[in-house]
Structure 1
């Protein structure tokens, strides 16, 4: 099927057919439900995968954006759909493990009512400084944030986001006090960071790479133990002796509880084959999306570890959404 450019630019909430349906593939189209608007890393990943995944499932695959309530509208949509594998949530921690950790009234339990299908990719996070900061590195920034609590501000895409909770880990593990400035999404946060109205952020490489490449921001550390090929001179938090920052920030597929194990296995097998395609990996590399393709058992273990971590951070920091 030829997909028009107009179709690719369909507004959030529209359904985009991206793979031809072959006879005998299964019970109707497979929806990849994305909890964010078109254009972000999760949405782009879903769209890049959809056609080759559909070919391997021998079913039509569509990408459907269901935005709102920090992605929880998308979760509810999947939970209200049949448990037959035709509605899959392209999830990040905010909709599953963080949602379970935060004190909030939910009509569902994401760790109970969703089942792991496949760990798709990891998204490395990097600390970046704006023009308002003169400290040469993260260690010096931490020293200042300890000596003068609240003197260094950081932008996040919202309270309870991965950025917010990872910065809470930094505060808790180092005794520093970086001041949180939450935004509604990354657009205005990045604009204010580059303008010097907020000092720093911790975000996915994909979200900050354009500004880094233009020299508008400065990379000061990579979260975790491995340096990034894109920024080999930037030290890691492990090298700097900062504990607790080796956090896997993931994107994965989850399905509604009750989805047959055989269906989960079939989708997992098709995803593994899709993510192994050289042409897809070539397109993921500049987005700094690292293919993982762990199946349901390994992904389930990752989710359990993730949920326990965020629960500790939320409890220790007395974090609420108010």
Structure 2
């Protein structure tokens, strides 16, 4: 009995030491540079958001945050790489709706499972879109656009940044809820669509605020509404689509941070706190506003995960309904 007790006692001591060491490592995070994978190109929106936020996190923690751009295949290459990393807090993924709420329904053979291979950490920010039309179109409100579309079935077209993009999905969801027919005209980016919209060759575009609003404020285009649930401080004069006769319509590009699956709760909490604190800094909000991005309302990792699942289910429905593919 003594030998049995002694062995178990030794095991218990070893286990306690291991747990204490693990807890210390998590509480001490980070004690070396942290790699933040951004699965999109440098100088793009996600990259710029990442650099604004991680700069503040690094300053608060006194440890380097290294943004590592791993672009390709709509963000799925870098995301797959992040999924295979150790869940020790030294590889994070800073990504958007594209990789976790949209691509899983467009690319069934993804090298990662958006739900099972990651631990949601923090919802950082949101970027609403703005509904733009050519001023020659005889509409000044969303209600008038819908009425025009119903009176001229099949005559309206809408530009997007390509099949399966958030711009495409926003437009498809709008036309379905409004009950109007519009023809899809894909471009390789909304920047290429703007000149045709100004020229009247296309009629409607759901664009990002920072690229779309300067054209609206100059009079070259007309802004009708924003896609967010509530009015945005970035363009407070514009109503939401929900206010404009499409109840429940809400769509933003969200930005968030993930850890690989299996991250200990204490570590998740530590990383969450670090990024949530950074988002409260006025200079972070000011820098993001220049990008057309607003800090998200404070939420827990669980709430972030639930939000993403709701967003994912919504886009899955839109993709099925409109038979959207990447072909």
For the aligned pair, the TM-score class normalised by the smaller chain equals 0.7 to 0.9
Any conservation in 2 of the 1:121–1:289 contact (CA below 8 Å)? yes
Q: Calculate the TM-score normalised by the size of structure 1.
A: 0.84
Any conservation in 1 of the 2:104–2:110 contact (CA below 8 Å)? no
Measure how far apart 1:225 and its partner are: 4.5
The separation in 2 between residues aligned to 1:229 and 1:49, in whole angstroms, is: 20
Asked if 1:108 is matched to 2:112, the reply is yes
Task: Name the structure 2 match of 1:28.
Answer: 32
Q: Calculate the TM-score normalised by the size of structure 2.
A: 0.83
Change (3 A) 1:51 1:103: closer
Asked if 1:311 is matched to 2:316, the reply is yes
The separation in 2 between residues aligned to 1:101 and 1:237, in whole angstroms, is: 25
Any conservation in 2 of the 1:94–1:160 contact (CA below 8 Å)? no
Q: Describe the superposition over 1:182-232 as per-residue Cα deviations: whole angstroms up to 9, x where unpaired.
A: 222333233433343322211221231332333322111122443333433
Task: Name the structure 1 match of 2:87.
Answer: 83
Task: Name the structure 1 match of 2:3.
Answer: none
Task: Name the structure 2 match of 1:229.
Answer: 233
Measure how far apart 1:136 and its partner are: 2.3
2:49 to 45, 50, 53: 45
Any conservation in 2 of the 1:97–1:111 contact (CA below 8 Å)? no
After TM superposition, list the pairs within 5 Å mapping 1:245-284 onto structure 2.
Answer: 245-284=249-288
The separation in 2 between residues aligned to 1:66 and 1:132, in whole angstroms, is: 42
Worse-matched range after superposition: 292-301 or 266-275: 292-301
Any conservation in 2 of the 1:120–1:294 contact (CA below 8 Å)? no
Q: Describe the superposition over 1:121-172 as per-residue Cα deviations: whole angstroms up to 9, x where unpaired.
A: 1112210113553322222222233333332221222211122112221122
Change (3 A) 1:267 1:225: closer
The separation in 1 between residues aligned to 2:115 and 2:29, in whole angstroms, is: 29
1:97 to 86, 101, 124: 101
The separation in 2 between residues aligned to 1:43 and 1:211, in whole angstroms, is: 24
1:299 to 304, 310, 320: 304
Any conservation in 2 of the 1:173–1:243 contact (CA below 8 Å)? no
Measure how far apart 1:100 and its partner are: 2.1
Any conservation in 2 of the 1:123–1:204 contact (CA below 8 Å)? yes
Runs of 4+ residues over 6 Å off in structure 1: none
Task: Name the structure 1 match of 2:165.
Answer: 161
Task: Name the structure 2 match of 1:14.
Answer: none
Worse-matched range after superposition: 72-81 or 185-194: 185-194
Structure 2 residue matching 1:91: 3-state secondary structure: strand
Any conservation in 2 of the 1:34–1:63 contact (CA below 8 Å)? yes
Change (3 A) 1:240 1:213: closer
Any conservation in 2 of the 1:173–1:244 contact (CA below 8 Å)? no
Any conservation in 2 of the 1:27–1:86 contact (CA below 8 Å)? no
Change (3 A) 1:67 1:214: farther
After TM superposition, list the pairs within 5 Å mapping 1:117-128 onto structure 2.
Answer: 117-128=121-132
Aligned residues: 299
Asked if 1:139 is matched to 2:117, the reply is no
Over alpha carbons, which structure has the higher Rg? 2
Unmatched 5+ stretches in structure 1: 1-23
Asked if 1:178 is matched to 2:182, the reply is yes
Change (3 A) 1:99 1:171: same
Change (3 A) 1:285 1:27: same
Unmatched 5+ stretches in structure 2: 1-27
**Greater fraction of residues in helix:** 2
